Structure 1
């Protein structure tokens, strides 16, 4: 988000968590399935089967193969290309804890470069 927009990191943090808040409201009212990008990349067939089952669709081998062919080989960790300040990391960690669907993520071990 920051790399594409050029906006200040704190603005992008606010923007991101505004969308997390909206997603939380939707998740309370709708049937949702949590899927993590990293899992789709590392276990595409398993995750695709989970999505299809959630949607009530039968798996099609050709569809699964086409989907797998479109994926990256590994997750892109673009957050590592940003020089985070301590305040930005603190803001991220504080807000991450507010959303159960972000439980897997943490900024605790990242190196600060500015």
Structure 2
């Protein structure tokens, strides 16, 4: 199936065209995801999320430049957004964890007394 046939079929929601489209571009795009991911599972998750965007935005492709370049741009932006989202989640977890470690003010005198005994 040619690139034009895959594109036209995918725009019509033809499952076989979409499968051919995915099979044609996913191996190379998985390599792009690996550059952003910590492991294979994360890379595959990024790829999956990105291809959902590719198929939902396919009608926006204007045939300016290569289709592969257009897909790659969506892949990269999706990977960056996933990393940003995960970083925010990580920072939130760190803040929650840090707040649970904070010493209550009424506990400080007890610490001071314990130091004097030692």
TM-score w.r.t. the length of structure 1 is 0.27
Tell me which protein shows more helix as a share of its residues: 2
Larger-Rg structure: 2
